[in-house]
Amino acid sequence: MKKTLFLALLLLLTCGLSTAQQQVVYSQTYSPVPAPTTPTLYTSTTGGVLTAQTYRLCITYFTLANNESMCSTDTSATITTTGTTSTVYINAPGAPIASGMGPNVVGYRVYVSAGASGSEKLQTMTAAQCTLAASSTAACSITSGYVLNVTMLAVTAIPTASTAYSPEIGRAPGISEAILGVYVHHLAWTVSGTVSTCTTAIDSAPDNLTWSAGGVMAAQTCTAGGAFSTSGVTANYIALNVTALTSSNGTASLTVTYYGDYSSIYQSPLRGYFIVSGTITPAATSAAIQTVAQAFTLTGLEPTDRVFLISQPAPTSLCPVTSVGVAAVNSVNLYFTVLTAAACTPAAGVFTFGIIR
């Protein structure tokens, strides 16, 4: 039976057989789109269906990929109407002032209520109210004013977390690694502020077009600072992909840095010392006193490597692990010595291996 070992930790110490090189390939900081400033507005007693009320409102920025900022403060955004046919006009907020925020912020959405602060609900976003933005989910263009002249909606509340970032979250432009032959991939991330949800991965593609999500590195949780490394995977193109990023206070930022270890094309493949951990569930042995081998997938293992066991779960006393060795490319053998004539199931759990190359 084979079980895949997922790399939990990888340390590389160059052994002098070839000169390992390290190159920072990509570093990106994702900055939150700020909440808009309180919009300016005015009212008319005609043209709508709004009754005599004191209304409050706030607006959010909206991105091309349908991500949304926190709502603007509504402290001063109150307005009183009279009669039963009033209309409220809201001036366009314009693009965020912060440098670099403009390209992916294409619109805004309007939240209104006649209740307390924070009780605002999302209002109708149609061509009758404003010029619509280019986003696939309805929002008003940041250069278009908004007309509230219809019966107010009372369903969707204001956002409790911001998903709007610059640059837009998602897959970054692809980076060619075909010539470098990067063999060990590292990803590190730092967080400033409170990040509610965050996942990041490294995608792969043969042609910079056909992408495999997590093809080089599966999704990692990045709500707090951390790092992860993986080896044994090569790709013609790689791309950083931040698949989720939200901030409960709308002020948190994320910086992700990728770099790869590679050796010169004139040298032998990268050499060093690796530590690899993974969860293994061995199969039951046959009913006989014997030493048996079970093979498990260990991605990146080469036939000439030397492998040894650093740690393991508490062994089953009647069939402990007594040896370990390379089975084949990407495959490691665990040898269990069965001390009973009955069948025995070795202990499952996290095994940590050292690899000398």
DSSP state of 345: -
CA–CA gap between residue 258 and residue 233 (Å, rounded)? 15
First-last CA distance in the chain? 26
CA–CA gap between residue 148 and residue 132 (Å, rounded)? 14
In a domain, 4, yes or no: no
Last residue of one domain, picked from the residues 119, 140, 160: 160
Pair 241, 295 in one domain? no
In a domain, 25, yes or no: yes
Write the CATH number for 251: 2.60.120.20
Pair 247, 289 in one domain? no
Pair 25, 42 in one domain? no
Pair 292, 343 in one domain? yes
In a domain, 204, yes or no: yes
Q: Which residues contact 247 (CB under 8 A, 6 or more apart)?
A: 32, 161, 162, 193, 194, 195, 196
Percentage above 90 pLDDT, the chain: 53
CA–CA gap between residue 175 and residue 170 (Å, rounded)? 15
Higher pLDDT, 356 or 169: 169
Residues of the domain holding 202:
20-31+166-263
Pair 122, 194 in one domain? no
Grade residue 268 by pLDDT with cuts at 50, 70 and 90.
Answer: very low
Q: Which residues contact 3 (CB under 8 A, 6 or more apart)?
A: 278, 279, 280, 281, 296, 297
In a domain, 8, yes or no: no
Stated pTM of the model: 0.65
Pair 212, 119 in one domain? no
**Across 205-217, average pLDDT:** 93
Pair 95, 211 in one domain? no
pLDDT of residue 131: 96
Pair 123, 207 in one domain? no
**Across 128-141, average pLDDT:** 95
How many domains does the chain contain in total? 3
CA–CA gap between residue 302 and residue 330 (Å, rounded)? 6
Last residue of one domain, picked from the residues 160, 179, 204: 160
Pair 172, 24 in one domain? yes
Residue 11 pLDDT > 70: no
Pair 252, 346 in one domain? no
Q: H or E element: which one contains 204?
A: strand 195-205
Last residue of one domain, picked from the residues 263, 291, 306: 263
Grade residue 60 by pLDDT with cuts at 50, 70 and 90.
Answer: very high
Separation of CA 185 from chain center: 16
